[in-house]
Amino acid sequence: MIGPLVRISALVGVAKAQLARAPGRTVLAVVAVALAVLSVTLFASLGVGVVSVGQDRIEETDRDVWITSDPVDGSTGGTENAIVGAHAISADVSQRDDVSRAAPIGLYTTYVGTDPADLRPITAVGVYETHGGFDFESGSGFDGDRDALDVPPGETDATDVVVDPTFADELGVTVGDTVYVGVGASGESARAFTVVGTADLYSQYLGEPTITMRLTELQGLAGSRGTDRAAFVTVDVADGADSAAVSDDLAAAYPQYDVRTSDEQFLSMIRDRGLVVTSGAALVGLSVVGGIVLTANLFVLLAYQQRQQLAALRAVGLSRPVIAGLVGVQGFIIGAVGGAVALVATGPITGQLNAVVRDLVGYGSLLQTPPSVYALGAVVAIAIGSIAAVAGGWSASRYACLSRL
């Protein structure tokens, strides 16, 4: 038992001496491993984020069942809200004992600005009230009008609007200021609204800046109060009720619409965005393969750079397995240090990249780093690095001979 420990200790000592003898080369190797592992963790975090961001958005809405349908003008990319009589449906569904509340959500393209003659296009989300999860940066939201939820909408004097923080900065407005909202760029239909808060909840969900206002007001601007159109009717089931059973009952009651649980809604979104999911999986696969290739190539080159020293060790009687083990120990040390540097840097770098992505496209957490991402980076740095180094050392031991001295 003592003999193997002495040999391993001697092997580690020789490996450390080899690394210390060429500090510049060792530092470059550590940096190279750190960059290879960073490529793994960053690409993997992007792949994980691409796949999971949609599921996060669905879960954040905290709704159990979704009633929806394809856009009326879907073939041309239109966004005409397909559910007709949305408030009546919501009121009818809310009467069920196994439902605590149902509410419609509308999506319309509007034009917003501080001057009716200078309006910018932006998606407006119409809701019953500003529910939980808005996480306002400033101000607050607006309360729901029970009558507006239970009966078809009519005229209203309310003029509250929640604006995406980035869009509010572009307009130069804050809480208490007035903006004009219309459905045409000319501003002829624009009405004055008061900014009551800034929040990006629905901006993250849609991936672009949005404003949020009462659905009844939005329908009034869009001219769809008569047909009472909405894009979704969301349903909260009562405590103890089974979401799947409620979904099945509503699907039978409204066969003209698609009725899904929140999980089914997420899967539907995945099917509609197969290219996005494929891209996310490809990024994860590319990160793993790329990291392994980069790490293996690095340690093969490291072994080749030491061919003369290894030839000298062979000349004094060290066997090929010992030579391979010597390079493998070096790979373990370099992989551990380089991997640690990369894993420590992964969090801050993903934070900075998420800030850039948020400014560009509105998603605040497109790069996600669950423990599995760090585990993947550690495996590539240490396990794959050590195996590649042993393989490189074994290969180097073939040409580490007296003729190399």
How confident is the model over 145-155, as pLDDT tens digits? 665 565 555 55
- The CA distance from 364 to 203, in Å, is 10
Helix (H, G, I), strand (E, B) or coil at 395: helix
| Whole-angstrom distance, CA of residue 347 vs CA of residue 381 | 17
d(CA 346, CA 358): 18
296, 391 in Cβ contact below 8 A?
yes
Terminal alpha carbon distance of the chain:
35
pLDDT band at residue 362 under the 50/70/90 scheme = low
Helix (H, G, I), strand (E, B) or coil at 149: helix
Burial (0-12, 13-18, 19+ Cβ within 10 Å), 149: buried
CA distance 131 to 110: 22
How high is the pLDDT of residue 76?
A: 40
Residue 41 CB-half CA count within 13 A: 32
Lowest-pLDDT range of 281-285, 294-298, 360-364: 360-364
**pLDDT > 90? residue 179:** yes
Q: Which amino acid is at 301?
A: L
Whole-angstrom distance, CA of residue 35 vs CA of residue 41: 10
- In the block, tokens 């809405």 appear at 61
Of the pLDDT bands very low, low, confident and very high (cuts 50, 70, 90), residue 2 is low
Q: Which position has the higher pLDDT, 378 or 394?
A: 378
Q: Which helix (H) or strand (E) holds 108?
A: strand 99-115
Q: Is the CB of residue 178 less than 8 Å from the CB of residue 114?
A: yes
